Amino acid sequence: MLRKQWIAPLLAAPLILLFAIFFVVPFIEIMRVSFSGAGGVMAGLAWLWTSPVVGIVFLNTLQLALSVTVICLVVGYPAACFIALQPESRRGILLALILLPFWTSVLVRTYTWSVVLGREGILNASLIWLGLADGPQRFMFTPLAVHLGMVQILLPVAILTLVGVMTELDAGLVRAARVLGASPARAFWHVFLPMTKPGLVAAAMLIFILSLGFYITPALLGGPRHRTIANLIDLQVHQMNDWTNAAAMALVLLATTIAAVAVLRWLVPDRSLYGSAR
């Protein structure tokens, strides 16, 4: 028994060590340095409270993360279904294709959107050629551009997570539902969809948290309303040299992330998130 108790922590030790060395220690150090100046933590937090900007940017960031998450799930779910239904060999190829964009930098992929969405881009050229628009429409620096850019980057996360859950799913359950009287649509609604809920929650969690920290894409494709908390932190560090404010904001971002995880964990209890019983 004693041995069994020790094995799990031992296996996790390298991860915990890495996490401690490369995250916890630097994080504490940054916080210590940032808050050692005049006023300390309170000065940073006071700034968060009094600044006319932080609150708005914070809400904008949450809203952006939320809408990107919803779009990723809505678009990714059918795609994941399609992939999960393929024979295993083809599934591997499709997943590799889904992963392919990961080999290209986010920066490049973000810039590429300007080729498509720009005033002289492919989309505008097509619209004008088809006679659907009189002149160039504005797509860049709009909500559309930011969402396209972010969804394109985060969609693979949704698809991979969902495919993982869907292929683990007991196909017999859908058959059982069918033979017991459920049409394909009802079998999907009553059995398949609820069974993939853990995948949906996990994907939502990942995408939401990643979205909260997005920085390059909103800055390049969005307008001022799409500036995120991360952009604000960057501004404080690189242009204002104000580490106290930056650290205070980083703390709030971290707290938000933890809160988001907590809410989702509360929505979907532990057991069904990390493995379902037959």
Q: Which residues contribute to the site for other proteins (CB under 8 A)?
A: 51-53, 56-57, 111, 114-115, 118-121, 136, 138, 140-141, 170, 172-173, 175-183, 186-187, 190-191, 194-195, 197, 219-220, 223-225, 227, 231-232, 235, 239-242, 272, 276-278
Q: Is 113 exposed, middle or buried (0-12, 13-18, 19+ CB in 10 A)?
A: buried
C-beta of 13 vs 53, nearer to other proteins: 53
C-beta of 12 vs 112, nearer to other proteins: 112
In the complex, what is the shortest distance from the CB of residue 114 to other proteins, in angstroms, rounded to a whole number?
Answer: 6
What's the angle, vertex CA 236, arms to CA 230 and CA 239, rounded to 5? 115
C-beta of 240 vs 263, nearer to other proteins: 240
C-beta of 121 vs 164, nearer to other proteins: 121
In the complex, what is the shortest distance from the CB of residue 260 to other proteins, in angstroms, rounded to a whole number?
Answer: 23
Which residue's entry shows tokens 């960057």?
234
- How far does Cα 13 stand from its chain's mean position? 27
| Tokens, residue 119 | 């005033």
In the complex, what is the shortest distance from the CB of residue 247 to other proteins, in angstroms, rounded to a whole number?
Answer: 14
In the complex, what is the shortest distance from the CB of residue 42 to other proteins, in angstroms, rounded to a whole number?
Answer: 17
C-beta of 36 vs 259, nearer to other proteins: 36
C-beta of 91 vs 225, nearer to other proteins: 225
Cβ-based neighbours of 152, under 8 Å, separated by 6 or more:
101, 109, 113
In the complex, what is the shortest distance from the CB of residue 120 to other proteins, in angstroms, rounded to a whole number?
Answer: 4
d(CA 132, CA 115): 19
d(CA 40, CA 35): 4
What's the angle, vertex CA 239, arms to CA 254 and CA 28, rounded to 5? 35
In the complex, what is the shortest distance from the CB of residue 97 to other proteins, in angstroms, rounded to a whole number?
Answer: 27
In the complex, what is the shortest distance from the CB of residue 104 to other proteins, in angstroms, rounded to a whole number?
Answer: 17
Q: Using a CB cutoff of 8 Å and minimum separation of 24, what contacts does 270-274 make? A: 272/197, 272/198, 273/198, 273/201, 273/202, 274/198
C-beta of 124 vs 156, nearer to other proteins: 124
d(CA 196, CA 167): 10
